[in-house]
Amino acid sequence: MSLITLLSACGNGDSLENITGPTMGSTYSIKYVRQAGLPAAAGVQVEVETILAEVDRQLSTYRSDSDIDRFNQLPANRCQAMPPSVLELVRVGEQLSEQSDGSYDLTVEPLLNLWGFGPQARDEKVPSAVALAEVRQRVGHGHLRIEGNQLCKDAAVEVDFNSIAAGYAVDLIAARLEALGIHNYLAEATGELKAAGSKLDGSPWRIALEEPRDDRQVAERIVTIDGYGLSTSGDYRNYFEQGGQRYSHTFDARTGAPVAHALASVTVIHPSAMMADGLSTLLLILGPERGWDYAQKHDIAAFFVMRADTGFVTRTSQAFERLGAGKAE
């Protein structure tokens, strides 16, 4: 879940078009500067919603006819032909899983369902040790393999692309806008975004990063974006409490349980919105120490917000500072 607030301003000259609609259980928003010869908003909306519909048909775990849900319904030791885009995302997930020593994993859907966060969830509660041990046998990227155009499984794993699907969709939308000759835009889907060029008045796109609170919206930092994707992952809106303990929807696949550390949110800026999406989740899973070390080692532009006794404390990676994104405005 992203913690992003979009800021825009009006200007003179060419028009600023704004397109919105529902997608992936949330919404999308496209803002672009329309200059002479560029398509009208109605035509752009058709293009955008065609992309979103295709992503949903391929990757949604909330519809039984999607490519990935049909794969998830297969028993162990079965294969299914998949579109190249699905195989591409599986490879990205494998890369992130290996780089995080298995903490990040696309096959955590059975865990999400067990704890009450997934599409087949019933109650939000801490599962028994027996139930958790059984489900963990069906989790792990190592159970997946790609054979030609087929995705195969050697255990009854279920793939969940929610940590990269929205960012992937944003990248597709951004590429389509560029192909249409639109070079000044801000494209957002379910909070994941990418911006390029400038606003109507020539100023850069400014994005407010919210404090990780579930009671009200407070801007923690304002950044400017041009040619980059941006994603924020946090633990503060989708969680439950039991026995005085807070359990979030972010899981460490190695333990089979929600993460339990002081890191409340992570924002990542990356040329690819898909990678920003996946990396923000990965860093949130790893936590304030392992996540920080990972960001520094891999030169990731990341903004960390940790809970402390006095409120929130923040930390920015060197790559974040180099982008000029680490300065408050």
CA atoms within 13 A on the CB side of 77: 0
Tens digit of each residue's pLDDT (9 = 90 or more) over 68-110: 999 999 999 999 999 999 999 999 999 999 999 999 999 998 8
Task: Give the pLDDT score at 325.
Answer: 54
pTM score, whole prediction: 0.89
> What residues contact 289, with CB distance under 8 A and at least 6 apart?
none
pLDDT, tens only, 234-271: 875 555 556 556 657 788 898 888 888 889 899 999 99
- The alpha carbons of the chain give a radius of gyration, in whole angstroms, of 20
Which among 99, 125, 153 is the end of a domain? 153
Q: Which of 121, 153, 185 is the C-terminal boundary of a domain?
A: 153
Q: What are the two backbone dihedrals, phi and then psi, of residue 40, each rounded to the nearest 5 degrees?
A: -75, 165
CATH of the domain at 247: 3.10.520.10
Q: Is 214 exposed, middle or buried (0-12, 13-18, 19+ CB in 10 A)?
A: exposed
Q: Which domain holds residue 13?
A: 4-57+169-322
CATH number of the domain within which 111 lies? 1.10.3980.10
Structure-block tokens of residue 153: 């499984």
1 or 285, greater pLDDT: 285
Which among 102, 120, 153 is the end of a domain?
153
293 and 221 housed in the same domain: yes
For the stretch 42-63, pLDDT in tens is 999 999 999 999 999 999 988 9
Q: Are residues 233 and 257 located together in one domain of the fold?
A: yes
Same domain, 219 and 308: yes
Summarize pLDDT for 302-319 with one digit per residue, the tens: 999 998 888 888 999 999
pLDDT value at 1 more than 80: no
